[in-house]
A and B are shown apart, each in its own frame.
Chain A
Amino acid sequence: MILSVRDLRVSFRTNDGLVRAIDGVSFDLEESEILGVVGESGSGKTVSLLAVMGLITDPNATIEGSIRYKGRELVGLPARELRRLRGNEIAMIFQDPMTALTPVYTIGWQIAEQIRAHRNISKSKAMERVEELLAEVNFPNPHEAMSRYPHQLSGGMRQRAVIAMALSCNPALLVADEPTTALDVTVQAGILDLVRKLRATHKSAVVFITHDMGVVSELADRVMVMYAGRVVERGSRAELFSDPRHPYTRALLGSIPPLTGEKPRRLPAIPGSPPSLLRLPQGCAFGPRCPVHYEPCEAGKPDLGSGTHAAACFRVAQA
């Protein structure tokens, strides 16, 4: 087991009140497994992963629960220890590659520095390694690419450079937060391919955050669907897509227009919009938009329960 998160809760004190961004999230991740985390904006994907990485620095934040990495508890670990772990064994990729790159240095220099910060090797050895890494992420001319500055690269190339940087430490765990959201589908296809390859060759476990159900279904081994700070459904890729159980998962899948076959005249849309975390509805947060909502839904929050394929819904529990 690489990662084991139990009952994670993150809240922020704000002027408008307490925001419970993450309200009891649990999941496990095995070696060389890809976990897809899918949800709409504000559902808590980023905050839950930032918490895992120890990157929530907001003084108004409260983090509770347990995050075990290879059996070691991360909650409460000193910042210095966490930083060491992040460079060595855990790597991250974000939506905007520029969060990981500096505009004033060449990408070759930046990746080499990253390697030398964690390994005691010579500059020329590091540069050799950089060239290998850039080749691995499909730069057509890795030697030439090393001397380029970030602004001389396209968005897709920049993201690949960041992936090369992430790979430089041979991470046991890679966390990717919407790394392809800003990219064209043609470029995205190449990046998804790269993530698959990485898992195969480096045996890295991957947590991949996205709002795109299509991306999850092409990439993930297991899937976690989030809504308003909670996990509403969890299952293997096959379980989730051939037998979606939670009304939100079902509705979301139903509202995606098909790419082939007959076009529906109207799309089966979900009414309303995701709730504000400051004004959550009573009981189940999906209640006001749920087509099969009934009385018990307002009485309490449905639990996800155990089991590999599980949905947090009173109707499902009853069935």
Chain B
Amino acid sequence: MTDKNRPIIETRSLGKRFSIGSRFSAEGKRTVHAVDNVSLTVWRGETVGLVGESGCGKSTLARCLVRLYDISDGELLFEGNDITSKSLSELRPLRRRLQMVFQDPSASLNPRRRVGDLVAEPLRIHGRLSSSEITRRVAELFDLVGLLPDHVMRFPHEFSGGQRQRVGIARAIALNPDLVVLDEPVSALDVSVQAQIVNLLADLQEKLNLTYIFIAHDLSVVRQVSTRIAVMYLGSIVEEGPAEEVFAAPAHPYSQALISAVPIVETTPSGTRKRIILTGDVPSPLNPPTGCRFHPRCPIAAERCRSERPQLREYRPGRKVACHFPTM
């Protein structure tokens, strides 16, 4: 497909700041740099997995990408057009092309509405379909996500978690979007149900030529789903590359620690896998360390790391790392 070589979304030095506290609180008004200097290109048809510890800015970046948040710094381009500061009304035609699926499907589904109705809602708001066309489309969507036709009359609470997530996905794909941001879509599901949803997402991507941004704290799930991985630390991307390559040979000391910490089922006696245990805790983005932001926890930090912040650099085609001493 020629489409594959076109970026769908591109950020240039994108930043998102939040102010917290108030003039009247003890610390006064302060700024959190939740996303800091992110330049990321997402190509049509791929899945970019965002990984990193809690609070590193995955959700914030994802929300910026679909303009659910206003952007504080840098630029955001959709199919080459600058949409950084487009107003809500200017964004309206784009909305249906950028969709989002959240972790807790019940929180985003009105409990008093029937699920058929919930899936029809985006079609009514954005589409120009007659009511019989809407009914037909809802049936088609139910079939696509693996729900039964007679499920349309049920209420959300009559479903299992996995089925509710299917409803959430049906809503997100109702308007034939180009990009779907999936923020922890399987994290709240039973282990035995996660694989069903992971497979469903893969099928839909193939059938509908979707581009995904995928966030999950289960790294083996992220690897399974993603073509590319971006590892985030304290608001910035520290490593980027093809999913299987990054998992097989992470180049940034933080990615190495993160991947080595994933508990996996081993049939051989334990101790065959080398584990890097990080000392120290995740620093606060309110008060980020100087130089390389990972230096207080980095096992190989050197003097230079304390003062000079490494930039994200392409070491090999497609492999980017922000570290003075990458394993490459």
Contacts and interface: CB of A to CB of B under 8 A. Distances in A.
A and B: bona fide binding partners: yes
Interface of A: 40-41, 138, 140, 154-157, 184-190, 192-193, 211-215, 217-218, 238, 241-242, 251-253, 255-260, 263-271, 273-274, 289
A213 B265 contact: yes
Contacts of B278: 186, 190
A273 B191 contact: no
A213 B280 CA distance: 27
3 interchain residue pairs of minimum CB distance:
A214-B263, A257-B224, A269-B195
A155 B258 CA distance: 17
A140 B217 contact: no
Nearest to A41: B190
A40 B54 CA distance: 23
Contact of B264 (A190, A251, A259): A259
A241 B265 contact: yes
Contacts of B219: 185, 259
Given A263-B223, A273-B190, A253 B265 contact: yes
A260 B193 CA distance: 22
A40 B191 CA distance: 6
B263 A260 contact: no
Contacts of B303: none
Given A255-B195, A257-B198, A189 B247 contact: no
B220 interface: yes
B262 A259 contact: yes
22 contacts: A140-B279, A154-B282, A156-B281, A188-B263, A190-B277, A190-B278, A193-B277, A214-B262, A218-B263, A218-B266, A252-B191, A256-B220, A259-B247, A259-B259, A259-B264, A266-B199, A267-B199, A267-B224, A269-B195, A270-B192, A270-B195, A273-B162
A157 B281 CA distance: 8
Nearest to A40: B190
Given A184-B54, A252-B192, A274-B190, A260 B248 contact: yes
Nearest to B196: A269
Contact of A255 (B194, B275, B277): B194
A310 B201 CA distance: 36
B263 A257 contact: no
B161 interface: yes
Contact of B220 (A238, A241, A259): A259
B270 interface: yes
Nearest to B263: A214
Contacts of B194: 255
A211 B259 CA distance: 20
B298 interface: no
B195 A268 contact: yes
Nearest to A212: B263
Given A255-B195, A268-B195, A269-B196, A184 B53 contact: yes
Contacts of A259: 219-220, 223, 247, 259, 262, 264
B130 interface: no
Contact of A267 (B160, B195, B217, B267): B195
B94 interface: no
B244 interface: yes
A140, A251, A265, A267, most chain B CB atoms within 10 A? A267
A274 B192 CA distance: 8
Interface of B: 53-54, 160-163, 190-196, 198-199, 202, 217, 219-221, 223-224, 244, 247-248, 257-267, 269-270, 275, 277-282
Contacts of B53: 184, 186-187
Contacts of A256: 191, 195, 220, 265
Given A211-B191, A255-B191, 19 more contacts: A185-B219, A214-B263, A214-B265, A218-B266, A255-B195, A257-B198, A257-B221, A257-B223, A257-B224, A258-B224, A259-B220, A259-B259, A267-B224, A269-B195, A269-B196, A269-B198, A269-B199, A270-B192, A270-B193
Nearest to B282: A154
Given A185-B219, A257-B223, A217 B160 contact: no
A258 B267 CA distance: 13
A41 B279 CA distance: 31
A20 to B, nearest CB: 19
Nearest to A254: B195
Contacts of B220: 256-259
Contacts of B162: 273
A252 B87 CA distance: 47
A217 B191 contact: no
Nearest to B198: A267
A266 B261 contact: no
A77 to B, nearest CB: 35
B195 A154 contact: no
Contact of A238 (B195, B258, B267): B267
Contact of B261 (A185, A242, A264, A289): A185
Contact of A241 (B54, B262, B267): B267
A273 B223 contact: no
A48 to B, nearest CB: 18
A189 B244 contact: no
